[in-house]
Amino acid sequence: MTEQVKSNRGGTLKAQRDRAVATRAAIVQAARKLFAEAGYHATGTTDIVARADMTRGALYHHFADKEDLFAEVFRTVAEELVNQANASVATLSGNLQAQISAAFTQYLRLVAENEEYQRILLIDGPSVLGWARWRHLQSEFIASGTADALEMLMNSGHVARQPTAPLANLLQAALNDAALTIANSDNPAQASEEVGKAFLALLGGLQTNR
């Protein structure tokens, strides 16, 4: 019954909500493309609304400013990257330690292969958002997965039982640095292989059965 209520702005409330969702998604998608192509600082809000075929009023209805929009793009890209890394190893069977190691390796490989991830998450991300907010957003999508992985390793006896959060934060810092090294390298593929091996050596050092 509620969904059929008419609004004085035209259409049902559900139709208005659907339009709002579609408008927001179009703005985010346009901004993502431009931030990836030209970078945050070289992209203006005029460019974004032109690419999205929207008005500036629509942009500022959904986002406080360009930085707020960038943060939403960042979340979208970070979630996509993590989901891709996890999906790529979801069908692997066998040793839990090997599965988790493969997920981390795939994460770094995806960073190396995708300039969009590099630009938005690792080059512009820290400078636009500031270190504290960038680290918080990284933790929102990535550190929680690191903590979950450690918890599984502890439950299975691969890693000695200890407080999860501090260890997850340290591993996350190492993973962030590895990804930053890849993004700022002249040869991301080579950097991915080198820092990936180093990260897995750190992870392997936690094993109780070495």
What is residue 86's predicted lDDT score, i.e. its pLDDT? 83
Q: What is the helix (H) or strand (E) element at residue 51, kind and residue range?
A: helix 45-52
Q: What is the pLDDT of residues 144-184, one digit of tens each?
A: 788 888 998 999 898 999 999 899 989 989 999 999 999 99
In this predicted structure, the answer to whether residue 203 has a pLDDT above a threshold of 70 is yes
**What are the extents of the domains in the chain?**
1-63, 65-210
pLDDT band at 127 (very low <50, low <70, confident <90, very high): very high
Token digits of residue 96? 């839990």
> What is the rounded average pLDDT of the residues 90-105?
82
The domains spanning 1-63 and 65-210 adopt the same CATH topology: no
Q: Which fold has domain 65-210?
A: Tetracycline Repressor; domain 2 (1.10.357)
What is residue 53's predicted lDDT score, i.e. its pLDDT? 96
Q: How far apart are the first and last CA of the chain?
A: 63
pTM for the full predicted model: 0.86
Question: Angle at CA 166, nearest 5°, toward 133 and 111?
Answer: 55
CATH code that applies to domain 1-63: 1.10.10.60
pLDDT band at 10 (very low <50, low <70, confident <90, very high): low
